[in-house]
Amino acid sequence: MDTAHDTDQRLMDLEIKSSFLEDLVDSLNQVVIRQQQQIDLLVREVKALRDQMPEPGQAPFRSLRDELPPHY
């Protein structure tokens, strides 16, 4: 009788651990999904910034010394 009770208790403990692990995996999966969405957004933003920059050699060289500050 004792071994049946021990087996039942061990099985219940394993089921509890399994459900906690399943919840943890789901939570971690949601974190990975959010991080991938953020990475995708950042990649699009970097691409947009690169598209705004002139190609090397196309824009004339501008020196900051040639530009007057607004108070002059």
pLDDT of res. 42: 98
Record the tokens describing residue 16, joined without a space. 């509890």
Token pair 């990649």 in the structure block, residue: 43
- Dist. CA 12–CA 16, nearest whole Å: 6
pLDDT recorded at residue 56: 75
How far apart are the C-alpha atoms of 52 and 71, rounded to whole Å?
28
Distance CA 27, CA 46 (A): 29
C-alpha distances out from residue 24 to 8, 29, 41, Å: 24, 8, 26
The answer on pLDDT for 1 being more than 70 is: no
pTM of the model: 0.62
AA identity, residue 48: A
Encode pLDDT of 12-66 as tens digits: 999 999 999 999 999 999 999 999 999 999 999 999 999 998 877 676 667 777 7
Give pLDDT, residue 27: 98
